[in-house]
Structure 1
Amino acid sequence: MQIIHHIKDLRQVIKEARNARGELRVGFVPTMGYLHQGHASLLEAARKQCDLVILSIFVNPLQFGPNEDLSRYPRDEERDLAVAKATGTDIVFFPTVQEMYPNPTKTIVSVSGVTERLCGTSRPGHFDGVATVVTKLFNIVQPDFAFFGMKDAQQIAVIQQMVDDLNNPVEIVPCKIVREEDGLALSSRNVYLQPEEREQALVLSSALKMAEKFVQEHEGSLQAAELQEAVKRHIAQSSIAEIDYADILAYPSLEQVTDLRSVPAFIIALAVKFGKTRLIDNTIIRW
């Protein structure tokens, strides 16, 4: 496994690999580090599908808002490299902020429509930062496939829209959410949860299970508002849960919908704070 810190070095290594192998399927997993089993599952999926697997670890300052503490984001380089090695990763790209943004950024990639609800409302500018850094990384790596976890379903919708609109020659591969045995979706932010908050956070996955059952019981005639109210009532069982959003939207367009039977698929998307920690979760239902 190679660890590379500079863009020019990474490009050279990839060029040499392509020249040596000819037909080479490059798989890419962009992350902000503090890797867990969810990230490992992305790397494993890339390993099965691709000849060369590249992981990037970069805490991107552009996607943090003014009220979000960039310095508080968890980091563990030693563990990250151990996860990468265990999953058979070929290259870890570990750039500094100075390497990625040597000068003040004057070009921002902005995707409209799919960014205007859910996390786009509560974290203004966040997806501009995501789209910009992913565009940069795609330009640097030039992968054939890029793997993303469905826990950030809105992020996948944004990146897919960007790739389609800009004719970027990369296939986006969504990968299923990885959960703890008790149902909590794996997240780098779970480390912030106090014991009571960790226990209360299980209301997210139980709300989604309840919603899936609710859909089965009412599939003949199902209104988004009715389902949304049922989900909010379930989350309210937690005394400390503070709902940011619990929305039902068409997926992947993320457009508002009234009659859920009128769209081929919809997302039940949650963002809830437990203490100071904001967690997201979702499930997508396809008819």
Structure 2
Amino acid sequence: MGRLEQEIRFTPAEQDLFELQRKTVEEWDIPQDILDQAHNLVEKRRAEVGKGYFALARKSQQPTGSLHFVAWEERVSNGEIFGNVGTITVSEDQEEIQCGLCGGWFKVLNGAHLQTHGLEDGDAYKSLLGLNRNQALCSPKFSALQREIAIENENERNIRETRVPFVQGFDPRRTDTRRRQFGEDRRRLFEEKRTRGELPSGRTSDRPEIRRLSEGGQFSLYGNNYYFGRTANGNVKITISGDEVTAEGYVNGELVIKTYQRKDL
């Protein structure tokens, strides 16, 4: 991992553009206190990002960029994450949440960030860290802002009148969150079944070579759960060679091949 304070070098074209922008800003005659305030905000944000990277370096000496879902599962089981499984770490000012994989602080853990870690979407992140499916991957203040916008735009009335599924933002119809005990009991039940090597009902009669995907894009093989892709269609074809499992399936009409390493057969 490189040093964060290393010198930034510009190309001649970038340097010319930088000088032009600097002269333009000087011509605007912006008060010095506003410039100082902007500078302090940039430095504060740079320090926060730096803390996340340095904490990551202390946490694990291995790179934590794009990894396979099974590799992330291994790290989670070894405790190589930020925070705790089943919870989201929120900043003191309620403005940001911490990514459990890299330690960075964000208002929203969007798809672009999750894909840099090798995850397909937010559902994969929630499944990996044991979060509820309806858990919002955003800060409390950002969630409150989305709620205010939804109420201001009368989304609740639009839902009742059009009778279409609610697809984005805060759902005014939801009066309470699912009990935490419900999620804990469900995860414990699934974990006990995995330990006993039991397959979910409806898959026990499947041939080992063909496994049906669940709604969340998961499939089980000999008691072990794997994640293929939430948007995958139909079945996945399994090929086992030694301790390596190769899964083939279709995602958005294209053939996708993923390889998993298994410890125990």
Q: Which has the larger radius of gyration?
A: 2
Higher relative contact order structure (alpha carbons within 8 Å, sequence separation ≥ 6): 1
Which TM-score band (shorter chain)? under 0.3
Normalised to the residue count of structure 2, the TM-score between the two structures is 0.26
More strand by share: 1
